[in-house]
Copies of this chain bind each other. A is one copy, B any other.
Amino acid sequence: MTGFYGAIEAGGTRFVCALGALGNGPARVKVETVIATTTPEETIENVMTFFHEHHSSETSEALQAIGIASFGPLDLDRNSEQFGQIIATPKPGWSGVDIVGKLQRAFKVPVVIDTDVNGAALAEHRWGGARDLSDFVYLTIGTGIGAGIMVNGSLIHGLNHCEWGHIRVPHSLEADPFAGCCPFHGDCLEGLASGTAIEARWGKPAVTCPSDHPAWQLEAQYLAFAVHNLVCTLFPQKVILGGGIMEQKQLFPLIRTSLIKSLGGYFNHFLGNITIDNYIVPPALGRKSGLYGAFCLAQSGCRMK
């Protein structure tokens, strides 16, 4: 399917916006810009100005649709009055903001929103390391923790998008006296292993911890427990680990070793020829997964017309 699409990777600190065509390879992005996330009014105004100005200058083709891979939580229940809105976010002013409706009214094209991690999963499925897979997970470990989960070729939505970061994992207070920083659950996975948690536990930003700092072994242990639970629940064909914290490449071998130990050989028969190095991997699209995911969402909106 060809055509010209708009894409927004909507984050708590910045919105990345792009226009581009969709080909067989990753989206051919024509223009791309970064807009600071301030008030909803100002931010959305800046997004609309970008699309208005650059769409007409770049192509005579009509804009087909806009996709938004967004921070959340989002209300994705089509029967809800708040469908498409950001819900109960701690980000001041953003709860209940109807970005989808505003863009639809302004551009008169389908606007599709989903979580940033669901977008990233779609992009990895189409152009990245999950091509030809029907069952895989894309995890993001950053300021928060989230997952985009594909089962039988479709994203999991259930009653709403998943909030995997909030699963409970073993936490030995003896080995790790940190109580956890999740305002809802204390020591859920996000409360123990997000970038926010690492900074709160060690008193400095994760990025300033050297690669042999004990923070990373502990981090790998929690992430291995969490991936263990995904394996037992979904038995995915691949686990993609992205996000700012996973740019600490020393984590990958630590997680793999901890995961093998945690699984205790239980799944070996079924892994067949899959090696652990090919099972636990970084995103093939790197930091572009989210933005490319917004293009995937845009195109799905076009199919919905």
Contacts and interface: CB of A to CB of B under 8 A. Distances in A.
Nearest to A274: B159
Interface in A69-85: 73, 75, 77, 80
A160 interface: yes
Nearest to A161: B235
Given A88-B269, A151-B151, A270-B75, A229 B156 contact: no
A185 B151 contact: no
Interface string A156-182: 111111111111111100000000000
A233 interface: yes
When all copies of this chain in the complex are counted, the total is 2
Interface in A175-218: 184-185, 187-188
A232 B265 contact: no
Given A233-B147, A266-B185, A271 B167 contact: no
A125 to B, nearest CB: 15
Nearest to A188: B232
Interface string A242-273: 00000000000000000000111111011110
Interface in A258-305: 262-267, 269-272, 274
Interface string A214-247: 0000000000010011101111110000000000
Of the listed residues A163, A185, A270, the one surrounded by the most CB atoms of chain B closer than 10 A to its CB is A270
Contact of A158 (B151, B156, B272): B151
A9 interface: no
A60 interface: no
B159 A151 contact: no
Given A168-B169, A262-B185, A264-B185, A159 B270 contact: yes
A39 B270 CA distance: 25
B262 A162 contact: no
Nearest to A187: B170
Interface string A38-81: 00000000000000000000000000000000000101010010
B149 A152 contact: no
A87 interface: yes
B75 A232 contact: no
A13 interface: no
A82 to B, nearest CB: 8
Contact of A225 (B168, B230, B234, B272): B168
B232 A160 contact: no
Given A75-B269, A166-B266, A168-B228, 7 more contacts: A151-B151, A158-B235, A158-B236, A158-B237, A160-B267, A170-B170, A233-B233
